[in-house]
Chains A and B, each alone.
Chain A
Amino acid sequence: MTIHIWVPDYESGIGGIQTLSRFIVRAVKDCFPDASLHVFAKNDASVPNRDNELATEVSPMGWWSPSQRTTAFALKLLRCAWYERPDLIITTHVNFAPVARWLQKLFGIPFLAIGHGVEVWDIPSEQVKRALRAANRLLAVSECTRQRMAAAIGIRTDGIAVLPNTFDPEKFSPAPKPRFLLKRYGLHPDQLVILTIARLASAERYKGYDQVLRAFASVRRQFPNARYILGGRGPDRNRVLNLIRELDLGGQVIMTGYIPEYELRAHYNLCDVFAMPSKGEGFGIVFLEALACGKPVVAGNKDGSIDAVLNGKLGVLVDPDNVDEIAKALIEILSGRHPLRILYQPETLRHEVIAAYGYEKFVERVHEILKQAGIGK
């Protein structure tokens, strides 16, 4: 059996779509160990790290210049589908649904399309909408995405199933505040730390770090020794630095720059609360990671993050535009007085998030989806 998987990014950078793509490969491999999996990654310009690679073949197309890449990618997808005649195409890149549709018409290859976040909340292209309507199965990573995607395509909500993202619990587990980070950032183990990890891009300002910064101004009045750690890098950095100066928060806000994958767990374990009141998250895998480390989280109530915290059961939901509400939530959590008691039970938080979104659950869901699509019968 051969399955083609089309993704925007597979290896470069960190993000929900990458993680989802990699886990889908793993899950499909677990469901069908003998299947040949060919991944097509539009934006990767480097070959994958062979050590953990489960896909039979990965074709990165990132060496093409951006202006040519879309065409080159589409041609590659067509050519390989022609040669390899896969039994199924899974695309996490909805803009290529029309290509999948042609292959479906020409060769009868079924395809699955997965909507992640903002890219499916508004679909301007009629061609893409038509193609998606013809998909054998449509998936969304959260309830919020599902609703919006259905509206954008022009179909009923029940035409889309939910496949929540997953994570690796072995990589994210509770630990005492790491000494090397305390030293690096000049922190005392008793200092309270609020953490956000996000790419600093104005297009992604919806991550909510502006609001947390403003909220932090109030928080530090209650907790003068508290610190806000903003992890991540991007073009928005200078504007953020100016904002910090404007709010007179210098010295209490630490911008870490890019946090490499092997230091993520350590950063989660450094904080006392993880806050990312966003508006545009497809799902919010960072919440799963923070919860798996036993940390209380603050999430926005307008996007896919709602699913990640099980509708407020595992984390605090706030209006991402309301700075006061964010500040209040942070202060309550940090003072130990928040009514949601589970926030103070790290082992339970971890247990619950694994039960809801652990890998085993994910494989079960993927298996079910593939079965319904008629694969593997």
Chain B
Amino acid sequence: MCGIAGLINAKLSRDNLENALLRLQKQLDHRGPDDRGMFLSRDGNSGLINTRLAILDVTAAGHQPMSTPDGRFHITYNGEIYNFQALRAELETDGEKFNSRSDTEVILKMYARHGPECVREFEGMFAIAIWDEVEQSCFLARGPLGIKQLYYYEDQGRLLFASEVRPLLQTGLVPPRLSREAVSGYLLFGAVPEPLTLVENVVALPAGHWLIWRDGKSRLTKFWDVQFSDEPLAREDAVEIARRSLFDSVERHFVSDVPVGIFLSGGTDSTAIVALASQIAKSDIRTFSISFDDPRFNEGDIAARTASHFETQHADWRLDSTKAKGLLSDFLARSDQPSIDGFNTFCVSKLAHDHGLKVVLSGLGGDEVFGGYQSFQIVPRMVRASRALNPLGMVRRSAGKSLQLRFSSPRTNRLGHFLTDVPSTAAGYWAMRGIFTPREVERLLPRYGSEGSDGCASQLAFHVPPQPTIEDEVSYLEMTRYMRNQLLRDSDVMSMAWSLELRVPYVDTKLIEAIERIPAHLRLSPGKRLLLDAVPEIPEWVRGRAKQGFAFPFKDWITGEWQDVFQRIETESPVPPKNWYRCWCLFALDSFISANRIDIPERETAKALPRSGLVSHDVVG
């Protein structure tokens, strides 16, 4: 709902501090077209900024940064606290007076009264920064599921933070060096794995954590994580829990002073939301979808049929490759960190924005929560099989090596690597979802600098907190890796590029806490059985369709119209891409590096990055 940033203990002149803050503000313009604000501490050594997209209390009373009447606490925050009315009522009972109808004021007063622990009571998504004039401390918090982003950089006792990575670079206070470990992670998984970012020493505040900075030092505290239970539950109870929590979540996500729309595809996740919303909304629901000329990818007809069934006000946008190409450079310019996804959300967000919407709901997360990906079936099988082969360790490993050497399909290569490695769930997960193998990463890395470790081993040995079953571990990985590092981040950045707030009812703390109690075999029934049973209103023309998601005919576009660009990558890359998303992976990384003028430590100059021809290199500024 906003862009936030701050600079604490700047150790700069007041003018220079203001300039840095203004630069941050300018870079976050797109996130908040409605209002902007700046706060400077009494001693002129610290400051906060905000660019506001007004959703709750659209008057000036909701202005940020906001301060307590006694001048002690000052907040800049991005997100939505859906239970803010209930919290407000409690505060009023305790004697608090309110000047606005915003959730910002509720957060501020909760913190003033109850300290950092107050975040445990927030139902919603948030990235919060609060400066305490008396303690001279800064509090940063990021919501449990990481829907909203917050990046920070610490150096010489100074703390710098913002909603996106690029604004930090623009202050000139962060050396723009490439993080090799982050590059490894990106090449292995297709998205930069948190808490790393592509810029060295810039880190993401982990989801479900808060940070307290004081006297030049900071301390992180974890307050939430995904934890599945294995207590037995009857099927009917599971369905009841699923329905109840979905209904509540959709209802919660409609809290707004401005109209709310819904992205509708042909899939069950968004259809379920529309089905439930139609029982909640007091006025017409507005739905949006994208369709293509290519019938293999076109879900527009199904979405239209669903829309008319639930009597929504529906808008459809026909996208052909010419229009898409026109949007592509814009998309790249708005990307904060690269990922191999995001273009879908970018287009759909533009559609909603053009129709005058500020808030949209999406079905993101449905697959992660209800087991819609193949990984849920395949990874556990792979891991169990590999473990059973443990006694034949040598056989397993040499089979693995063969698969890597003798077959050229990327998927087979990854499977091969998996067999040579310890049979952890994280390794199995990577084998399913990964992009490049560690060997390939090793060959690609010299292009991005020759110093430092390659980070592959540590990236693949990803720790999963103990869960009852391997299936639960896969769930955990899907939610904290793919969903967080890729889908949620892309959604946040791409929707904010169009000053649109994207809300995700499936990625909701209360819903997940309820669903966590359902044992894996019920929760992850193939075909998202639990979801289908919990929302019987989903029409039969949507049920039983193979998973599509917001699939775009990328492959055809890339091999068709944008061939020359990707051709160059194909020929110049030390590792043959072999398919369009590996190609895109490299292309997006190169764009990020050129757009942000990142220094690559001791790069081999012979392997200079190709100019893509699609991105203007003067985008920044």
A-side interface residues toward B, CB under 8 Å? Answer: 11-13, 45-50, 60, 63-65, 68, 72, 175, 178-180, 183, 233, 237, 257-258, 260, 262, 266
Contact present for A257 and B231 (CB under 8 Å):
yes
CB contact list, B98-122 vs A, under 8 A: 114, 117-118, 120-121
Contact present for B424 and A63 (CB under 8 Å):
yes
Number of B interface residues in the complex (CB < 8 A): 32
Q: Which residue of B lies closest to A233 (CB)?
A: B231
In whole angstroms, what is the CA distance A48 to B424 when docked?
A: 12
Contact present for B117 and A180 (CB under 8 Å):
yes
In whole angstroms, what is the CA distance A68 to B458 when docked?
A: 27
Which listed residue (A12, A63, A68, A179) contacts B121, Cβ 8 A?
A: A179
CB-CB under 8 A from A266, the residues of chain B are 117, 120
Contact present for B225 and A48 (CB under 8 Å):
no
Q: Is B463 an interface residue (CB 8 A)?
A: yes
The stretch that binds A, out of B124-132, B384-392, B496-504, B532-540, is B384-392
- Known: A63-B390, A64-B387. Is A178-B466 also a contact (CB below 8 A)? no
CB-CB under 8 A from B423, the residues of chain A are 63
Contact present for A64 and B120 (CB under 8 Å):
no
Q: Which residue of A lies closest to B461 (CB)?
A: A47
Provide a sorted-by-A list of 21 A–B residue pairs whose CB atoms are within 8 angstroms: A11-B463, A11-B466, A46-B463, A47-B422, A48-B463, A60-B422, A63-B386, A63-B422, A63-B423, A65-B387, A72-B390, A178-B120, A179-B117, A179-B118, A179-B121, A180-B121, A257-B231, A257-B517, A258-B227, A262-B221, A262-B224
- Known: A47-B463, A64-B387. Is A258-B117 also a contact (CB below 8 A)? no
CB contact list, B446-501 vs A, under 8 A: 458, 461-466
CB-CB under 8 A from A257, the residues of chain B are 229, 231, 517
Q: A13-B466, A262-B222, A266-B117 known; 13 other A-B pairs, CB under 8 Å?
A: A46-B424, A46-B426, A47-B462, A48-B463, A63-B390, A65-B390, A68-B390, A68-B391, A175-B117, A183-B121, A258-B227, A260-B225, A262-B221
Contact present for A237 and B225 (CB under 8 Å):
no
Q: Which residue of B lies closest to A48 (CB)?
A: B463
A234 to chain B, nearest CB (A): 10
Contact present for B388 and A45 (CB under 8 Å):
no
CB-CB under 8 A from A49, the residues of chain B are 463
Which of A50, A68, A258, A266 counts the most B-chain CB atoms under 10 A from its CB? A258
Contact present for A47 and B390 (CB under 8 Å):
no
Contact present for B390 and A46 (CB under 8 Å):
no
Contact present for B464 and A65 (CB under 8 Å):
no
Which listed residue (A11, A48, A179, A260) contacts B114, Cβ 8 A?
A: A179
Q: Which residue of B lies closest to A255 (CB)?
A: B231
In whole angstroms, what is the CA distance A65 to B463 when docked?
A: 20
Contact present for B117 and A50 (CB under 8 Å):
no
Q: Is B223 an interface residue (CB 8 A)?
A: yes
In whole angstroms, what is the CA distance A60 to B231 when docked?
A: 26
CB contact list, B373-411 vs A, under 8 A: 386-388, 390-391
CB contact list, B207-265 vs A, under 8 A: 221-225, 227, 229-231
In whole angstroms, what is the CA distance A180 to B387 when docked?
A: 41
B 180-224 binary contact with A (CB < 8 Å = 1; else 0): 000000000000000000000000000000000000000001111
In whole angstroms, what is the CA distance A179 to B86 when docked?
A: 14
Contact present for B224 and A50 (CB under 8 Å):
no
CB-CB under 8 A from B426, the residues of chain A are 46-47
- Known: A48-B463, A65-B390. Is A237-B231 also a contact (CB below 8 A)? yes
CB-CB under 8 A from B114, the residues of chain A are 179
Q: Which residue of B lies closest to A49 (CB)?
A: B463
B-side interface residues toward A, CB under 8 Å? Answer: 114, 117-118, 120-121, 221-225, 227, 229-231, 386-388, 390-391, 422-426, 458, 461-466, 517
A31 to chain B, nearest CB (A): 25
In whole angstroms, what is the CA distance A179 to B119 when docked?
A: 11
B382 to chain A, nearest CB (A): 13
CB-CB under 8 A from A46, the residues of chain B are 424-426, 463-464, 466
In whole angstroms, what is the CA distance A282 to B423 when docked?
A: 33
CB-CB under 8 A from B230, the residues of chain A are 233
In whole angstroms, what is the CA distance A63 to B227 when docked?
A: 21
- Known: A64-B387, A178-B117, A179-B121. Is A50-B458 also a contact (CB below 8 A)? yes
B231 to chain A, nearest CB (A): 6
B310 to chain A, nearest CB (A): 35
A94 to chain B, nearest CB (A): 24
CB-CB under 8 A from B424, the residues of chain A are 45-47, 63
In whole angstroms, what is the CA distance A56 to B243 when docked?
A: 47
CB-CB under 8 A from A64, the residues of chain B are 387, 390
Contact present for A233 and B390 (CB under 8 Å):
no
In whole angstroms, what is the CA distance A65 to B385 when docked?
A: 11
CB-CB under 8 A from A179, the residues of chain B are 114, 117-118, 120-121
In whole angstroms, what is the CA distance A331 to B390 when docked?
A: 55
B143 to chain A, nearest CB (A): 14
In whole angstroms, what is the CA distance A237 to B230 when docked?
A: 11
CB-CB under 8 A from B223, the residues of chain A are 262
CB-CB under 8 A from A65, the residues of chain B are 387-388, 390
B274 to chain A, nearest CB (A): 31
Which of B391, B423, B466 counts the most A-chain CB atoms under 10 A from its CB? B466
B212 to chain A, nearest CB (A): 12
CB-CB under 8 A from A262, the residues of chain B are 221-225
In whole angstroms, what is the CA distance A266 to B121 when docked?
A: 13
Q: Which residue of A lies closest to B222 (CB)?
A: A262
In whole angstroms, what is the CA distance A60 to B465 when docked?
A: 14
Q: Which residue of A lies closest to B513 (CB)?
A: A184
Q: Which residue of B lies closest to A257 (CB)?
A: B229
B177 to chain A, nearest CB (A): 22
Contact present for A63 and B225 (CB under 8 Å):
no
Which of A47, A50, A178 counts the most B-chain CB atoms under 10 A from its CB? A47
In whole angstroms, what is the CA distance A180 to B464 when docked?
A: 26
Contact present for A50 and B227 (CB under 8 Å):
no
The 4 closest A-B pairs by CB, nearest first: A180-B120, A49-B463, A47-B461, A12-B466
A377 to chain B, nearest CB (A): 35
CB-CB under 8 A from B387, the residues of chain A are 63-65
In whole angstroms, what is the CA distance A196 to B247 when docked?
A: 35
In whole angstroms, what is the CA distance A11 to B466 when docked?
A: 8
CB-CB under 8 A from B462, the residues of chain A are 47
In whole angstroms, what is the CA distance A149 to B564 when docked?
A: 75
Q: Which residue of B lies closest to A45 (CB)?
A: B424
B477 to chain A, nearest CB (A): 11
CB-CB under 8 A from A183, the residues of chain B are 121
Which of B120, B223, B465 counts the most A-chain CB atoms under 10 A from its CB? B120
Q: Which residue of B lies closest to A58 (CB)?
A: B461
CB-CB under 8 A from B120, the residues of chain A are 178-180, 266
B205 to chain A, nearest CB (A): 14
Contact present for B229 and A233 (CB under 8 Å):
yes
In whole angstroms, what is the CA distance A364 to B435 when docked?
A: 49
A59 to chain B, nearest CB (A): 9
In whole angstroms, what is the CA distance A281 to B463 when docked?
A: 30
In whole angstroms, what is the CA distance A12 to B422 when docked?
A: 17
In whole angstroms, what is the CA distance A97 to B424 when docked?
A: 28
In whole angstroms, what is the CA distance A31 to B388 when docked?
A: 40
In whole angstroms, what is the CA distance A11 to B422 when docked?
A: 17
B174 to chain A, nearest CB (A): 22
In whole angstroms, what is the CA distance A178 to B463 when docked?
A: 29
